[in-house]
A and B are shown apart, each in its own frame.
Chain A
Amino acid sequence: MTEKILSEKNRVVRHSRLELIEHWAIAISGLILLATGIFELPVAKRYYIITVPGLGWTADFITSLYLHYAAALVFTAAGIFHLVYHGGARGETGLLPQKGDMKASVTVIKSLFGFGQEPPMHKYLPEQRWAYVGMALIIAMLIVSGLIKTYKNLYAPDLSLAIVLTATWIHNICFVLFFLAFLAHMAAILLRPNWPMVRGIFTGNVRLDYARHRHALWIADLEKNEKSVDP
Chain B
Amino acid sequence: MRISAGAAALTGIHLPKTARAEAAGSLATLIDLSLCDGCADRTMPVCIQACRSINADKIPPVAEHIPEPWPRKTIEDWSKKQDVTNRLTPYNYLYVHRAEVTVDGRSQTLFVPRRCMHCDNPACATICPFSANHKNQNGAVVINPNQCFGGAKCRDVCPWEIPQRQSGVGIYLHVLPDFMGNGVMYKCDLCNDRLKEGKKPGCIEACPRGAMLIGPKKEIEAQAQARSSKINGHIYGQKENGGTATLYVSPVSFELLNQTMIRKPGQPDMKPGVERRMAGTDPLGKAVLASPVLGLALAGVAGWFSRRRDRKTRQEEDHD
Q: Which of B132-165 contact A (CB under 8 A)?
A: 134-137, 139, 151-153, 156-157
In Å, the complex CA distance between A83 and B278 comes to 32
* Contact between chains at B287 and A152 (CB < 8 Å): no
Question: Cα distance A74–B125 when bound, in Å?
Answer: 26
| Bound Cα distance from A69 to B283, whole angstroms | 10
Instruction: Tell me if A73 and B296 are in contact (CB < 8 A).
Output: no
B21 interface contact, C-beta 8 A? yes
CB A20 to nearest CB in B, in angstroms, measures 14
Contact: A73 with B284, CB < 8 Å?
Answer: yes
- Of B74, B125, B287, B299, the contact of A80 (CB 8 Å cutoff): B299
Question: B120 in the interface, Cβ–Cβ < 8 Å?
Answer: yes
Contact (Cβ within 8 A) A88 B299: yes
Determine whether A62 belongs to the interface, using a CB cutoff of 8 Å to chain B: yes
- Whether the pair A147, B289 counts as a contact (CB closer than 8 A) is yes
Return chain A residues, CB-CB under 8 Å to B317.
229
Scan residues 132-186 of chain A and give those whose CB is less than 8 A from a CB of chain B. Answer: 143, 146-147, 150-158, 161, 164-165, 168-169, 172
With beta carbons under 8 angstroms apart, the residue of B131, B137, B152, B289 that contacts A164 is: B131
Given A73-B284, A88-B303, A157-B121, does the pair A61, B153 have CB atoms closer than 8 Å? yes
Find out whether the CB atom of A172 lies under 8 angstroms from the CB atom of B127: no
Count contacts between A and B, CB distance < 8 Å: 157
Contacts of A104 in B (CB 8 A): none
Partner among B72, B120, B121, B303 whose Cβ is within 8 Å of the Cβ of A85: B303
Decide yes or no: A90 and B156 within 8 Å by CB, A80-B292, A80-B299, A172-B129 being known contacts: no
Interface string of A64-80 (1 = CB under 8 A from B): 01100110111011111
Q: Cα distance A118–B255 when bound, in Å? A: 77
Q: Which of B283-301 contact A (CB under 8 A)?
A: 284-289, 291-292, 294-296, 298-300
Q: In the docked arrangement, what's the CA distance between A231 and B316, Å?
A: 12
Chain B: interface residue total (CB-CB under 8 A): 58
- Interface flag for B105 (CB, 8 Å): no
Q: Do the beta carbons of B295 and A153 come within 8 Å of each other?
A: no
The size class of the interface chain A forms with chain B is 35 or more
Q: For B300, what are the chain A residues with a Cβ–Cβ distance below 8 Å?
A: 84, 89
Q: How far is the CA of A208 from the CA of B278 in the complex (A)?
A: 53
CA distance A3 to B287 in the complex (A): 35
Query: What residues of B have a CB within 8 angstroms of the CB of A152 in the complex?
Result: 126
Which residues of chain B come closer than 8 Å to A172, judged between CB atoms? Answer: 129-130
Is the beta-carbon distance between A158 and B299 smaller than 8 angstroms? no
| Contact B127–A156 (Cβ < 8 Å) | no
Cβ-defined contact, B282 with A84, below 8 A: no
Q: Within the complex, what minimum Cβ distance (angstroms) separates A45 from chain B?
A: 7
Q: A46-B72, A62-B157 are in contact. Are A156 and B19 (CB under 8 A)?
A: yes
Cβ–Cβ contact B281 & A73, under 8 A: no
| Whole-angstrom CA separation of A150 from B129 in the bound complex | 13
A residues bordering B, Cβ < 8 Å? Answer: 1, 18, 40-42, 45-48, 59, 61-62, 65-66, 69-70, 72-74, 76-81, 83-85, 88-90, 143, 146-147, 150-158, 161, 164-165, 168-169, 172, 229, 231
B residues bordering A, Cβ < 8 Å? Answer: 15-16, 18-21, 23, 26, 69, 71-72, 74, 120-123, 125-127, 129-131, 134-137, 139, 151-153, 156-157, 277-278, 280-282, 284-289, 291-292, 294-296, 298-300, 302-303, 306-307, 313, 317, 320
